[in-house]
Amino acid sequence: MILAAGRGERMRPLTDSTPKPLLEAGGRPLIAWTLEALARCGVKEVVINVAHLAHEIERRVGDGARWDLTIHYSREPQGALETAGGIAHALPLLGSAPFLVVNGDIFTDFPFKTLLTGEWPNHGSLAHLVLIDNPEHHPAGDFGLSDGKVSADGVVRYTYSGIGVYDPALFSEVPRGARYQLAAVLKPLLAKGRVSGEHYRGRWVDVGTPERLAALDRFLRENS
């Protein structure tokens, strides 16, 4: 699942007429880089949630055939449903097995295949989070990590990358169509040790501002 329903307030005025996942870097929409990476890993089906300028995403991305993918759309009301609400809303499209979730506004060279082949440590976990070193714009981080387990606190804290694997049971109690944050779903599990994680040190960009978009564009054009 690719999360693509947000308004992208920090990207305004760019996102007034273009949904954030369709903003371009290196000559391609952000979401295209993710779709290409998923296809290279052997993914065949992708669910994309949409709300803000949903018709533009559906028109530009289409059915996924150009990437040899089958794409399904989970349509949300204007204003979207937050991360957990959006995932819960899409559960009928996601099936009964654990699924990969990726934010639609990041760029990364993370090897998704390691999560798709079940190599991530389960150990009774209902979620597995990919954590990264704290970027300048988020110095306090989100979670601690020790021995493959994610905690709410830690001597060293890391930032959630927007990449994770989730068991659908995690969202079974989220009311369908309700706005619900991911933190509210994860918090009870952290104390029980049922969220695993890993620390990724490779390239990762949260394309959250026009300045970061421009920097990524320069990098991709210079290195592709």
Segment 199-216 mean pLDDT:
93
CA distance 152 to 141: 10
* High-pLDDT (> 70) share of the chain, %: 97
pLDDT of residue 65: 96
pLDDT tens digits along 57-110: 999 999 999 999 999 999 999 888 999 999 999 999 999 999 999 999 999 999
**Would strands 149-151 and 143-146 be described as parallel, antiparallel, or unpaired?**
antiparallel
119 confidence band (pLDDT: 50, 70, 90): low
Q: At residue 120, does pLDDT exceed 90? A: no
Backbone Cα Rg of the chain: 17
Q: Which CATH number characterizes residue 177's domain?
A: 3.90.550.10
pLDDT of residue 30: 95
Q: Write out the residue range of the structural domain in which residue 68 sits.
A: 2-223
**Residue 123 structure tokens:** 């150990």
Number of domains present in the structure of the chain: 1
123 confidence band (pLDDT: 50, 70, 90): low
pLDDT tens digits along 145-200: 998 899 998 889 999 999 999 999 999 889 888 999 999 999 999 989 999 999 99
**Mean confidence (pLDDT) of the chain:** 92
pTM of the predicted structure, to 2 decimals: 0.94
What's the full length of the chain, in residues?
224
